[in-house]
Amino acid sequence: GAGVSQSPRYKVTKRGQDVALRCDPISGHVSLYWYRQALGQGPEFLTYFNYEAQQDKSGLPNDRFSAERPEGSISTLTIQRTEQRDSAMYRCASSLAGYGYTFGSGTRLTVV
């Protein structure tokens, strides 16, 4: 596609529910990154992939968070048993090897 597409744009979920956030990167982009951003703060790294391989997941806050990119294109970030502190904007970005990122519009997650 022309840009990085994320869905849904907004997600409200009850505490304890699982959520899945989707990222469709720019076609052909090798690297895909997940960040989350709290209001008034810079993006916080979560994890990234090169093709289908997860290269670094050191930013995932705990084992309720997981991500996959099974075919090296679309990625899903899953949060199990959501908690209120998980509420944030979740941003996906993709890049060609060695170049800067292109970010998507993000998914705003609200846990109530």
Partner 1 sequence: DAKTTQPPSMDCAEGRAANLPCNHSTISGNEYVYWYRQIHSQGPQYIIHGLKNNETNEMASLIITEDRKSSTLILPHATLRDTAVYYCIVRREDNYGQNFVFGPGTRLSVLP
The four Cα atoms 56, 78, 42, 100 give a dihedral, to 10 degrees, of 50
31 binds partner 1 (CB under 8 A): yes
Among 11, 35, 69, 111, interactor with partner 1 by CB under 8 A: 35
| Tokens of residue 9, six digits | 């744009």
- Is 83 one of the binding residues for partner 1 (CB under 8 A)? no
Closer Cβ to partner 1, 58 or 62, answer by number: 58
User: Which of residues 48, 69, 75, 86 is near partner 1 by CB under 8 A?
Assistant: 48
Among 22, 26, 45, 68, binds partner 1 (CB under 8 A): 45
- CB under 8 Å to 62, separation ≥6 — which residues? none
Is the Cα dihedral 24, 67, 55, 61 positive or negative?
Answer: positive
Nearer to partner 1, 62 or 97 (CB): 97
**Residue 66 CB contacts under 8 Å (≥ 6 apart), including other chains:** 60, 77, 78, 80
**Tokens 């941003």 identify what position?**
91
Residues in contact with partner 1 by CB under 8 A are 4, 30-31, 33, 35, 41-45, 48, 50, 55-56, 59, 89, 91, 93, 95, 97-98, 100-106
